[in-house]
């Protein structure tokens, strides 16, 4: 039976979310930190990867790996994503659940202690992170950015965002630019770390069988001497479109990439979210969706065509791979499928298939401690937390009229076409 998590208030803007479960052989603890998309984004983005590398107690990767081996082969991970107009930074640790420790020790408590050492007591020198570690992570960060540029599907999506949100923080890269990364110094990253401890909205999420009270107490001790001023994390929602804008770029690629950005009438991330989610899925979710059945299967206009919603910004993106002379026809047909939904042309079979697919994905949240932790981490700034089962019931309650009404608030804002010229690389090269 699904359990509702327990929350502990740790400090201003800091909480612990603990999900008690004995379903898995492993447990997971994740430190999630949210910052506005302002200031030195590159320094912020580098932080999780720097913090994951070492701490004062384990100042190099060999010593840290030795400690992870002692914790029954625990593993660390770090990441950066964009969550509305916010940078979403995370450092996580996964290890065997306490029930399987050989001598009865709490592996979760020891993993939490290590994670807290990494976050609160990093390996620094004279108010700066070590040059060697910073330069290594800068190179890796540049490789991440370049890999996105080299993947033309990702590149086209990113370019559409840059155009569509050129005057909004959401248009910025979660990593910052290559030039900004190159310019970083150890002092820059150190100052970003101090700012994070002071201003980030933080949630520590854990899933496993270990009691959370001890970890909550340790967190309170770590934050006791930190002056907290949690940042404002508002995201701008724009509903009106003065005029549709179209952008095109040419590149030597085999397959053209078309990305369409739609605004919705959402005013916040939970505004009519369930009807909007079902509508987006009917529009371009699975094989039952209008974009797949019509543009790909019936009309053979594209190699792929799908729609996804970004609720934290209230927008929908349609991405497709097409022949380079088909862009206008594809745009026309995509808009026609949207108009079909607005006019109520929704079959009972596709409606039920969509809800079933969404509910299946919600049930899969319970498949691992990492996915449970991620589920609650992404509710970090919500006043009311919901479980996957609660969301499933709300999806099941959506009716066709609500879907039609949700579709009526969707309007095309920006289209971006990466046109292939000559014989170039294949789709994802």
Q: Does position 367 have pLDDT exceeding 70, yes or no? A: yes
pLDDT at 141: 97
CA 320 to chain centre: 21
Residues 6+ apart with CB under 8 A from 119: 31, 51, 91, 222
In a domain, 420, yes or no: yes
pLDDT at 425: 55
- Quote the percentage of the chain above a pLDDT of 70: 98
What three-state secondary structure class fits 190?
A: helix
Question: Do 146 and 88 share a structural domain?
Answer: yes
- pLDDT confidence tier of residue 421, bands split at 50, 70 and 90: confident
In a domain, 229, yes or no: no
Q: Tell me the residue range of the domain where 419 lies.
A: 245-425
Q: How far apart are CA 370 and CA 375, in angstroms?
A: 9
Question: Do 211 and 135 share a structural domain?
Answer: yes
User: Is residue 47 within a helix (H) or strand (E), and if so which, with residue range?
Assistant: helix 41-53
pLDDT at 254: 86
pLDDT at 426: 52
Whether 92 contacts 76, CB under 8 Å: yes
Question: Do 102 and 70 share a structural domain?
Answer: yes
Q: Does position 276 have pLDDT exceeding 80, yes or no? A: yes
In a domain, 350, yes or no: yes
At residue 26's C-alpha, the angle toward residues 24 and 29, to 5°, is 115
Q: Does position 345 have pLDDT exceeding 90, yes or no? A: yes
Residue ending a domain, among 177, 193, 223, is 223
- pLDDT confidence tier of residue 104, bands split at 50, 70 and 90: confident
Question: Do 141 and 180 share a structural domain?
Answer: yes
Question: Do 115 and 31 share a structural domain?
Answer: yes
Question: Do 268 and 197 share a structural domain?
Answer: no
Residue ending a domain, among 223, 255, 288, is 223
pLDDT at 3: 74
Q: Does position 428 have pLDDT exceeding 70, yes or no? A: no
Q: Give how many domains the chain has, as a whole number.
A: 2
In a domain, 48, yes or no: yes
In a domain, 146, yes or no: yes
Question: Do 165 and 79 share a structural domain?
Answer: yes
Dihedral of alpha carbons 355, 311, 208, 78, sign: positive
State pLDDT tens for residues 146-189: 998 899 999 999 999 999 999 999 999 999 999 999 999 999 99
State pLDDT tens for residues 17-48: 999 999 999 999 999 999 999 999 999 999 99
What three-state secondary structure class fits 408?
A: coil
State pLDDT tens for residues 347-363: 999 999 999 999 999 99
Question: Do 107 and 26 share a structural domain?
Answer: yes
pLDDT at 2: 60
In a domain, 1, yes or no: no
- pLDDT confidence tier of residue 371, bands split at 50, 70 and 90: very high
Question: Do 255 and 157 share a structural domain?
Answer: no
Question: Do 360 and 267 share a structural domain?
Answer: yes
CATH number for the domain that contains residue 309: 3.30.830.10
- Quote the percentage of the chain above a pLDDT of 90: 92
Question: Do 61 and 152 share a structural domain?
Answer: yes
- pLDDT confidence tier of residue 61, bands split at 50, 70 and 90: confident
User: Which pair of tokens denotes residue 381?
Assistant: 């700034």
In a domain, 38, yes or no: yes
Residue ending a domain, among 155, 190, 223, is 223
What three-state secondary structure class fits 92?
A: strand
Of 36, 15, 10, give the one whose Cα is nearest residue 383.
15
Rounded to an integer, the average pLDDT of 237-254 is 93
Q: Does position 290 have pLDDT exceeding 70, yes or no? A: yes
Residues 6+ apart with CB under 8 A from 366: 2, 23, 372, 388
**Tokens 């999420």, located at residue:** 205
In a domain, 235, yes or no: no
The three-state DSSP-derived secondary structure of 171-220 is HCCCCCCHHHHHCCCHHHHHHHHHHHHHHCEEEEEEEECCCCHHHHHHHH
- pLDDT confidence tier of residue 1, bands split at 50, 70 and 90: very low
Question: Do 178 and 39 share a structural domain?
Answer: yes
């Amino acid at each position: 039976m699904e359990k509702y998590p327990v929350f502990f208030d740790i400090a201003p803007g800091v909480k612990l979310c603990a999900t008690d479960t004995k379903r898995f052989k492993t447990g997971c603890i994740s430190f999630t930190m949210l910052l506005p998309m302002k200031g030195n984004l590159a320094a912020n983005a580098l932080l999780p990867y720097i913090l994951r590398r070492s701490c004062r107690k384990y100042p190099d990767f060999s010593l840290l790996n030795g400690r992870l081996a002692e914790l029954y082969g625990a593993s660390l991970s770090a990441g950066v994503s964009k969550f509305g107009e916010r940078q979403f930074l995370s450092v996580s640790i996964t290890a065997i659940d306490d029930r399987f420790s050989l001598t009865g020790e709490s592996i979760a408590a020891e993993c939490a202690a290590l994670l807290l050492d990494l976050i609160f007591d990093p390996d620094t020198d004279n108010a700066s992170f070590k040059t060697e570690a910073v330069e290594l992570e800068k190179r890796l960060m540049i490789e991440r950015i370049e890999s996105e540029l080299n993947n033309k599907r990702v590149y086209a999506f990113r370019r559409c965002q840059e155009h569509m949100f050129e005057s909004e923080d959401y248009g910025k890269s979660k990593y910052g630019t290559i030039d900004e990364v190159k310019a970083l110094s150890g002092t820059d990253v150190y100052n970003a770390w101090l700012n994070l401890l002071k201003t980030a909205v933080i949630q520590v999420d854990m899933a496993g069988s270990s009691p959370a009270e001890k970890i909550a107490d340790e967190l309170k001790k770590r934050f006791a001497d930190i002056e907290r001023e949690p940042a404002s994390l508002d995201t701008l929602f724009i509903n009106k479109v003065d005029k549709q804008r179209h952008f095109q770029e040419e590149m030597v690629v085999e397959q053209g990439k078309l990305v369409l950005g739609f605004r919705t009438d959402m005013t916040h991330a939970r505004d009519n979210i369930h009807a909007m989610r079902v509508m987006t899925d009917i529009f371009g979710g699975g094989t039952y969706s209008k974009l797949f059945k019509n543009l790909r299967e019936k009309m053979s206009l594209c190699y792929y065509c799908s729609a996804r919603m970004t609720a934290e910004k209230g927008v929908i993106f349609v991405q497709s791979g097409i022949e380079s002379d088909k862009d206008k026809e594809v745009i026309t047909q995509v808009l026609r499928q949207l108009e079909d939904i607005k006019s109520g042309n929704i079959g009972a079979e596709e409606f039920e298939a969509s809800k079933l697919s969404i509910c299946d994905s919600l049930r899969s949240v319970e498949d691992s401690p990492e996915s449970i932790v991620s589920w609650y981490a992404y509710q970090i700034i919500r006043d009311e937390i919901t479980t996957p089962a609660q969301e499933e019931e709300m999806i099941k309650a959506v009716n066709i009229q609500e879907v039609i009404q949700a579709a009526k608030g969707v309007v095309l804002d920006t289209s971006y076409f990466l046109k292939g010229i000559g014989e170039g690389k294949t789709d994802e090269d």
